[in-house]
Chains A and B, each alone.
Chain A
């Protein structure tokens, strides 16, 4: 038996991404690269109005166009059920049927009303223009508050209101909060502040637009759906519900997927429509979204109004936090939309102690594109409110914002597993340590000194510094908690590791990465654990035929759930291999040490390598009695807790008060995601996340006119910043392992997006505070900054 030593560790090193060679050389395969013989192209006829009744649809001209195969309206294409909504937060929720093609009226600009199928994409596009819809335009409502006014146009008449339901922590949370806030807000001794923030509507902008190809095996009634999706497993289940095709006949493949940020964590009308068309026509079909189409048809994120109140002692001890949110759902309740604000429910007191906490939110229908999860989902909202408010409280008390934060941080010695005021239990953290690192990199005192000097000199450019000491819960996650929240699925995930006869390793994961680099990280985990070569590990994912079990990728769960599941499957393999090794080496299992792929009899040089054991278990010639052949294992892992990363971010800005321009001159990110499996990928996640967070703070906003038309409907008007608009990122870390899993890992996928917006806006307000400015709404456009200054002056 050959014995190979393998001691060098790959976990914790910055391995280059296994995914990149294909991507860089253009060999990656996205949905749009997929062509099936006999394939037809699909085009959607969409409403040009935000709110309009359909009095009739004339499809005759479109059907006559040569090359057009079919045109259907909502009444002609049948579904077993409306699109599935998976998070009815409580009994109050108002869930209107969301038909893939709307039948009675359009409820947002872009709502699909008919579908054309043609021999080419260009013909489909031409045919769309020939469909004549008799529209009766109705008054539209796109403002959250206006939607709740008594005389507002109603998006779904059957409810008689645009109020889609509320969720109240005190009533609906499965875990008790520390105490009611009313006594604190009634206490005359305490200082109280009340803030209102408006979060803009955001368009996720994954680089790859959405797309669907459905291949059909008509005689067998079998379908393969290729979709640019983050969630092939959930998509299969929900398509079964909507289209009435059993799971066993439905294969869903997420090929290479070019980013999602939540926008591909969705069951879209187009997914169901394409599947229904393939069945009806018995031919493969393809739909690829146009960018400007996607701006209307792909989910939006974040829009909400936040009211937050803090009560604190005069010397800055936080006592109570009370929050009331009003969130825009847009025109329908999409997959998990009603629960998105709830993902922040336990986080609005941040990483601070307090005695009392209240939280509630109300979802509202408006005539806009539906909203749903967008990177961070609920948690950036929470961090924004509390971190902005901590600065406001510091100003009110005349305290340094850093000092106020320090005074209220949950102390390190409360961990592990400390139940915070909102009622959930945080795994581990060292908030002071993380902030210390940030201040050290920043040289805080020197910066404040410079700010003072500049102010005294009367420099035209105003210097400001803003902090965001954030925490979050991710790695979604413990199924029991999700169940108590009425979430429609589990939080577990699946992993299978299988030794091939030749000693290579096949890894199948239920998380479906789409740009994160999970294939690389998972290979690192398995290679180290089993003592095989990193290059001998093949990670497969994103195809329900290859990986039938899984809950997919969102909520920073790839590492926190997916890799832990793998690690646990690895433990099972090692246990079985140990039994076989003991059998072969004729010793007791306890006498074996496992290191670098070798089982060695303690104190001897007799050993067996795991690859050899794998081969022997495949031939099965000499197995212990009762042992099954083969060396492989599957684990379905359900974490006992969320993972709770945290960090301290700081942004330094220069503001030109004459033009309102904001220049981010420094950005420091100190994040703690526990043990890092691949520091390069951690840094990459931070870079991307911070870029998206700065974008929210300064650039991005989906704007509608009074009639409900999206006026930022292309990439020239919806401003996604690029490298020239962003500062260099100074990325650092601290490492506080999670006690929840054996590897000590936490999620990092959303950190930057959660952290950055309040750091940036706090910096702007800090710069402008000598002028009397207390708030600038986001995105802080030059005009908003300039107007805030004008208002403060007058």
Chain B
């Protein structure tokens, strides 16, 4: 409950935040604090300094570019994502999933930037970003770069971000035309996913044209169930069950007090079938 000693700085701007990060190897950004602070209180994380970006209001909010991408500021809270009309219209799976994160308090504090940067394989929004082929915009001392979600998640709590980089924005392809579902299997309403499955399905002529399947908590990073995606591409809706049986191919699910690795594999197959079916029925 009592973190180790740390310094605290308030960033006045994005540039200031980068400057502060760049000057201190052991500094960490503080956004909503709902992943970082619990770790600090258990003394599992011991940053020498926190750089608080919570007041950079320019980083919060959703805007609709003219193109195919929705632009979401890194500091946008889960609660705003869940209730934002633009997100609800253009990216309903994201709005829906944001509404499933943690509990009310968590949703009012936690941010999408923090969720992605944390690299927690049990995080829901990371799976959605990966499933929707989002782009993550990061800024560092050398300027800005855009990282594809597929390149972003590197390992257990590990991302492509450099220690002196900051996510400013997440760009999400609009998916209003697609069928979608996110099934979060959890013991209690406020728990992380034991296993989560995202399905985004494009259908044509009563069949499946293409499907994107994302998995939460089935390995050290969020994953795409590529074997299922391949099996579903151009397939008939009768083949969902058979395709879903491949959901755990290439995964390495954890074993913990919530479930064994085997049971997670089983769940991923059952839930993938259900997610695709639910998507098709939407």
Pick the contact of B259: A126, A703, A783 (CB < 8 A). Answer: A783
In-complex Cβ contact of B256 among A291, A711, A719, A724 (8 A): A711
Closest chain B residue to A288 by CB distance?
A: B1
Question: Which residues from 135 to 189 on chain A have a C-beta closer than 8 Å to any C-beta of chain B?
Answer: none
A722–B188 touching, CB < 8 Å: yes
Minimum CB–CB distance for B33 against chain A, Å: 16
Contact of A121 among B2, B257, B270 (CB under 8 A): B2
B156 within 8 A of A: no
Stretch at the interface among B85-93, B209-217, B260-268: B260-268
Contacts of B258 in A (CB 8 A): 717
Cα distance A721–B192 in the bound complex, in angstroms: 14
Asked whether B266 lies within 8 Å of A786 as measured between CB atoms, the reply is: yes
Contact with A along B37-64 (1 / 0, CB 8 A): 0000011000000000000000000000
**Set of chain B residues within 8 Å of A291, measured between Cβ atoms:** 1
Nearest B-chain residue to A717, judged by Cβ: B257
Q: Is the CB of A724 within 8 A of B188?
A: yes
Check B263 against A786 for contact (C-beta < 8 Å): yes
Is B190 touching A722 in the complex (CB atoms < 8 A)? Answer: yes
Are the CB atoms of A725 and B263 closer together than 8 Å?
no
Using an 8 Å CB-CB cutoff, how does the interface string of A451-482 with B read, 1 for contact, 0 for none? 00000000000000000000000000000000
A661 surroundings in chain B (CB, below 8 A): 185
Known contacts: A122-B2, A711-B256, A711-B257. The answer to whether A659 contacts B185 by CB under 8 A is yes
Asked if B1 and A719 sit within 8 Å, CB to CB, the answer is: no
A725–B188 touching, CB < 8 Å = yes
Q: Say yes or no for B5: interface residue by CB 8 A criterion.
A: yes
Find the B residue at minimum CB distance from A209: B1
Rounded to whole angstroms, the CA-CA distance of A722 and B266 in the bound complex is 27
Question: Considering the chains assembled together, what is the distance between the CA atoms of A721 and B191 in angstroms?
Answer: 10
Interface string of A649-681 (1 = CB under 8 A from B): 000000000110100000000000000000000
Q: How far is the CA of A97 from the CA of B145 in the complex (A)?
A: 65
Contact B1 A290 (CB under 8 A): yes
Q: Is the CB of A126 within 8 A of B256?
A: no
Contact in complex: B257, A659 (CB < 8 Å): no
Q: Which of A121, A783, A786 has the most CB of B within 10 A?
A: A783
The chain B residue sitting closest to A787, CB to CB, is B263
Contacts known (A292-B42, A786-B266); A719 close to B187, Cβ less than 8 A: yes
Does A714 interact with chain B (Cβ within 8 Å)? yes
Asked if A15 is an interface residue, CB under 8 A from chain B, the answer is no
Given A659-B267, A786-B266: A125 and B2 interface contact (C-beta under 8 Å):
yes
Give the distance in Å from the alpha carbon of A126 to the alpha carbon of B190 in the complex. 32
- Please, how many residues of chain B have a CB less than 8 angstroms from a CB on the other chain? 24
- Does A618 reach chain B (CB closer than 8 Å)? no
Complex contacts, A724 vs chain B, CB 8 Å: 188-190
Chain A nearest CB from B45 CB (Å) reads 14
Residues of A within 8 A of B263 (CB): 782-783, 786-787
CA distance A789 to B258 in the complex (A): 18
Residues on the A chain within 8 Å of B242, using CB:
none
B4 in contact (CB, < 8 A): yes
Given contacts A786-B263, A786-B266, contact A721 B185 (CB under 8 A): no
CB distance from A112 to the nearest CB of B (A): 17
User: Given the complex, which residues of A lie within 8 Å of B187, measured CB to CB?
Assistant: 699, 719, 725, 781-782
Within 8 Å by CB of A721, from B42, B188, B257, B270, lies B188
* Cα separation A786 to B263 with both chains bound (whole Å): 9
* A712 on interface, CB distance cutoff 8 Å: yes
Chain B residues with Cβ below 8 Å from A721 are 188
Q: How far is the CB of A200 from chain B (nearest CB, A)?
A: 12
Q: Which of B71-92 contact A (CB under 8 A)?
A: none
Q: How many Å from the CB of B259 to the closest CB on chain A?
A: 5
- Report how far A245 CA is from B189 CA in the complex, Å: 49
Q: Can you name the residue of chain A whose Cβ is closest to the Cβ of B183?
A: A659
Q: Chain B residues near A722: list those with CB within 8 A.
A: 188-190
The residues in B between 244 and 282 inclusive whose CB is less than 8 angstroms from any CB of A are 256-260, 263, 266-267, 270-271
What residues of chain A lie closer than 8 Å to B267, measured between beta carbons?
A: 659
A783 contacts B188, C-beta separation under 8 Å:
no
Residues of chain A within 8 A (CB-CB) of B256 are 711, 717
Q: Complex Cα distance A714/B266, Å?
A: 27
Query: In the bound complex, what is the Cα–Cα distance between A722 and B188 (angstroms)?
Result: 8
The smallest C-beta distance from A344 to any residue of chain B, in angstroms, reads 28
Q: How far is the CB of B256 from chain A (nearest CB, A)?
A: 7
Residues of B with C-beta under 8 A to A719: 187-188, 191
User: In the complex, which residue of chain A has the Cβ closest to the Cβ of B269?
Assistant: A658
Interface residues of B in 1-24 (CB under 8 A from A): 1-2, 4-5
Q: Are A703 and B42 in contact (CB under 8 A)?
A: no
In the complex, A121 Cα to B42 Cα: how many Å?
Answer: 15
Rounded to whole angstroms, the CA-CA distance of A787 and B42 in the bound complex is: 34
Instruction: List 25 contacting pairs A-B, 8 Å CB cutoff, sorted by A.
Output: A121-B2, A122-B5, A125-B2, A126-B4, A292-B1, A292-B42, A659-B185, A659-B270, A699-B188, A703-B257, A711-B257, A712-B257, A714-B42, A716-B192, A717-B257, A719-B191, A722-B189, A724-B188, A724-B189, A724-B190, A781-B187, A782-B194, A782-B263, A783-B263, A787-B263
Instruction: List 20 additional A-B contacts (Cβ < 8 Å) besides A290-B2, A291-B1.
Output: A122-B5, A126-B5, A292-B1, A659-B267, A659-B270, A661-B185, A699-B187, A703-B257, A711-B257, A716-B191, A716-B192, A721-B188, A724-B188, A724-B189, A725-B187, A725-B188, A782-B185, A783-B260, A786-B263, A787-B263
Chain A contact residues, CB within 8 Å of chain B: 121-122, 125-126, 129, 290-292, 658-659, 661, 699, 703, 711-712, 714, 716-717, 719, 721-722, 724-725, 781-783, 786-787
5 closest residue pairs by CB, A with B: A724-B189, A290-B1, A125-B2, A783-B263, A658-B270
